[in-house]
Structure 1
Amino acid sequence: MKQSLFAFIKSLREFLANKLNQYNTTLPYVITVIIALIIVVGGINIFVELTETLKTETLATYDTAITDYVISYRTPTLTRYFKFMTHVGDIYGYLIVLTAFLLVSLLVFKRWKYVLQASLVLALATISNMMLKRFIDRARPGIEHLVSVETLSYPSGHAMSAMAFYGFLIFLVTKFTMHKVMKYVLIIALITIILSIGISRIYLGVHFPSDIAGGFIAGIIWVVFCVLVFDLIQLFRRDPQT
């Protein structure tokens, strides 16, 4: 992505230099950030428009069918597993993971910026999720809840935060220099965590499947946006013309 960003900024710089008499070298970066904001805002708007389907009978039918299928597999062992995974997606779970990630970053990579970036992605996803829940105002499923919940239903905060946080970690893993087998193992493990957290919310009866899908989509939007901005900042710092 950095190469594509650099090529875009270079072409934008040349265009602006030809069109403007007084040219500011930081202007291409400002324009690129504005474009990134437009992309994420546009993505969120599309997401909100898609929530209109929540009121359709077709989606309700799919939600019911998928939920019935998932909870039909309830067993004591699976219940313990999915309760554990749903706690991994809670605030205390993220604090433990962030602490471990901080130690790895400092001891192995000798840099703490990755922890700061991952924390920012998680914070953005969490805050925007609370806003979306209030805006959409969807009630929880009316079936038995195996864990206690207090907030609204759509989109799933667990699914959105998991996709944003662990999805960003997947992006970081692809950047790190390590053995290919270890890289693939980490990526598969992170994907498993994301999916397990999402499924756990259906299994435990506290979310509709569409809540999970909406959370995953919104989480991906934040990952793409943050990766774009972080790469842009890095290019800006290295650019000799700024």
Structure 2
Amino acid sequence: MQHRMLHYGRLALGWIREQDAKLILAALMTASSMFLFIEIADEVVERDTQTLDEKIIMALREPNDLSNPIGPIWVEEAVRDLSALGSHTVLTLFVGFVLAFLILIKRRKAALFVMGAAAGGALLSHWLKIFFARPRPDIVSHATHIMTYSFPSGHSMLSAIVYLTLGALMTELVSRKRLKSYFLISAMFISFLVGLSRIYLGVHYPSDVMAGWCAGLFWAALITLIARLNALRSKN
């Protein structure tokens, strides 16, 4: 009996330590990503990134024809497909299906978590674009249509928010650390590809994309931190 009590006690202590570690990690990610975004935004406002931004975009274009991105035509088409993974249309459909699934299995708190992350992130992205009002790159022709300001990259930011939020949600459904890492790495990789696609298509400066990733990570980490704090509070 005493041995069993010690065993359960160790399990409980391990769970508490794991939750504390997750809270600390979420808090650190929130603070560090916000700091990086502020630093990038400051550099952009001062136009300290402009020269490097333009050089990178120009390096991705054919020297004799700046309207044509480097590489064969199928690469350009593939990049457009990758860019769509961060579009409002695709992300809205994706989030909608996930919300419907969570409601069907009666995971209402998880549904609110996902909806809050996606809707709040979209509003934050819209507000940041209007606040900074940075024009889109005009040194090369755009390989896709654009309708908003440039900073931060909405595709990069929203893809980071949605995919990282869902990745964090999936880590709660599995116990193996290898699977947890797989979900989070996959989420980051998709967002990474989306961001690179926006630079390749000439619709964003690299600093826009970097800022989008930081802002997306900030919002996803903040929502995760709030959700974990609420979960711990409800158990106490």
TM-score > 0.5, shorter chain as reference: yes
**Could you tell me how far 1:43 is from its partner in structure 2?**
6.7
SS of the equivalent of 1:225 reads helix
Structure 2 residue corresponding to 1:89, chosen from 79, 86, 89:
86
Structure 1 residue corresponding to 2:116, chosen from 112, 115, 120:
120
Does the aligned pair in 2 maintain the 1:2–1:231 contact within 8 Å? Answer: no
SS of the equivalent of 1:152 reads coil
1:15-30 equivalences in 2 (<5 Å): none
Structure 2 residue corresponding to 1:233, chosen from 221, 230, 233:
230
Q: Which residue of 2 aligns with 1:209?
A: 206
Whole-angstrom distance in 2 between the partners of 1:180 and 1:236: 25
Would you say 1:47 and 2:47 are equivalent positions? no
Q: Which residue of 1 aligns with 2:20?
A: 4
Q: Which letter does structure 2 place at the counterpart of 1:66?
A: I
**Could you tell me how far 1:116 is from its partner in structure 2?**
2.8
Whole-angstrom distance in 2 between the partners of 1:80 and 1:49: 34
Whole-angstrom distance in 2 between the partners of 1:173 and 1:110: 16
Does the aligned pair in 2 maintain the 1:88–1:94 contact within 8 Å? Answer: yes
Would you say 1:157 and 2:154 are equivalent positions? yes
Q: Which residue of 2 aligns with 1:189?
A: 186
**Could you tell me how far 1:147 is from its partner in structure 2?**
0.9
Whole-angstrom distance in 1 between the partners of 2:122 and 2:100: 23
**Could you tell me how far 1:178 is from its partner in structure 2?**
6.1
1:134-145 equivalences in 2 (<5 Å): 134-142=130-138, 143-145=140-142
Does the aligned pair in 2 maintain the 1:6–1:235 contact within 8 Å? Answer: no
Measured on the aligned residues, the alpha-carbon RMSD in Å equals: 3.3
Closer/same/farther in 2, CA of residues 67 and 138 from structure 1, 3 Å limit: same
Residue segments in structure 1 that go unaligned for 5+ positions in a row? 9-35
Q: Which residue of 2 aligns with 1:70?
A: 60
Residue segments in structure 2 that go unaligned for 5+ positions in a row? 1-16, 62-68
Closer/same/farther in 2, CA of residues 2 and 233 from structure 1, 3 Å limit: farther
Q: Deviations over 1:73-113 (max 9, x none)?
A: 34321211221122221222013322442465467x65243
SS of the equivalent of 1:53 reads helix
Q: Which letter does structure 2 place at the counterpart of 1:59?
A: T
Q: Which letter does structure 2 place at the counterpart of 1:196?
A: L
Q: Which residue of 2 aligns with 1:101?
A: 98
**Could you tell me how far 1:205 is from its partner in structure 2?**
0.9
Q: Which letter does structure 1 place at the counterpart of 2:126?
A: M
Closer/same/farther in 2, CA of residues 89 and 46 from structure 1, 3 Å limit: closer
Q: Which letter does structure 2 place at the counterpart of 1:115?
A: A
Determine what percentage of the aligned residue pairs are the same residue: 27
Whole-angstrom distance in 1 between the partners of 2:204 and 2:108: 35
